[in-house]
Amino acid sequence: MSAVSQPTPSIQLYSQQNQAARRKKQVGMGTVYALLIIGSVIFMLPLIIMVATSFKSFNEINSYPPTFFPREWLPSNYPDAWSYQNTNFPRWTLNTLIIILGTLPGVVLTSSLCAYGFARMQFPGRRLWFGLVLASIMLPPQVTLIPLYILFFQLGWLNTFWPLIIPAWFGGGALNIFLLRQFYMQIPKELDEAAIIDGATHLTIWWRIYMPLSRPALVSVTLLTVLQIWNDFLGPLIYLTSPDNYTLALGLNMFQGLFITRNDYIMAISTLMVLPMVVMFIFAQRYIVQGFVTSGLKG
């Protein structure tokens, strides 16, 4: 019977080095995941405190020492706060949704059309105009507030939703144009050339080729727009004067002013206002990451 061959010293050394490198990689990955978990807990702590406080009673919130989780969970805070007197949260939610539904088509269509023009069409001063678009990102909205207010006043649009909807149909926002333009630059030009040979116009190429291919970027633009409108406070504060036309952001501010001491109700309404955005981000995060990475905007 032949003897069992023993591994040579070089093979043993290579195996030891391989195991050491694998252990080092596992320790490094474990450290990274531990830091990410700690960072996530730190960033989520205010959200956890808000949700926990929304289930506490008024007396427990003002008790000392304070409690982190409620001793007695009160889900009734949510319907009580939602239907409290002198408030109209269903109407304010409907107003916010109306503004979102009126704004989204304008943002998606006009920003993608402008982005296609900057990415694929050749015209005099293209780089200059694109530079001006990028420069407008650094322009604070307060700079154009007075001229826009005068314009909408002369049009008779104050205390209506038009000042919050119509501007979105004129370009869709510089940041959205930049994001979509970067995405379009990654699409092979051979698709354009083949479509032009078949007799397609630029509008046909944009609508039938670029729009379907840019779904991840369009989802990112949609989410950013919804988040901006949902949290917008300055625009509705300037243009809306009737409480019946308030958005959720204005309604929450009014509710906080009426019941500044009822932190249980304030936290319940705040949780209801944050929840739709969290759910939307969870379901759309794959498209968001894909859209930003493909656009070359990864951090």
Share of the chain above pLDDT 90, in %: 27
Length in residues, the chain: 299
Residue 1: pLDDT band (50, 70, 90) is very low
Cβ partners under 8 Å of residue 280, min gap 6: 223, 226
Share of the chain above pLDDT 70, in %: 90
d(C-alpha 100, C-alpha 102), whole Å:
5
> Is residue 298 over pLDDT 50?
no
Mean pLDDT of the chain: 85
In the chain, where does DSSP find H-type helix? Answer: 9-54, 58-61, 77-82, 89-120, 126-135, 145-155, 162-165, 174-184, 189-197, 202-205, 211-213, 215-231, 234-239, 248-258, 263-294
Answer for the pair 183, 294: CB distance below 8 angstroms, yes or no: yes
> In this predicted structure, what is the pLDDT of residue 169?
92
Average pLDDT over residues 61-79: 85
Residue 8: pLDDT band (50, 70, 90) is low
First to last CA, the chain: 63
What pLDDT, in 10s, does the model give residues 211-238? 998 888 898 899 889 999 999 999 999 9
> Is residue 44 over pLDDT 60?
yes
Average pLDDT over residues 195-216: 89
Answer for the pair 246, 95: CB distance below 8 angstroms, yes or no: yes
Question: What are the domain boundaries of the chain?
Answer: 9-54, 80-294
Average pLDDT over residues 265-279: 89
> Is residue 2 over pLDDT 60?
no
CATH 1.10.3720.10 fits 80-294, yes or no: yes
> In this predicted structure, what is the pLDDT of residue 282?
83
Q: What is the DSSP letter of 5?
A: P
Average pLDDT over residues 125-154: 88
SS3 299: coil
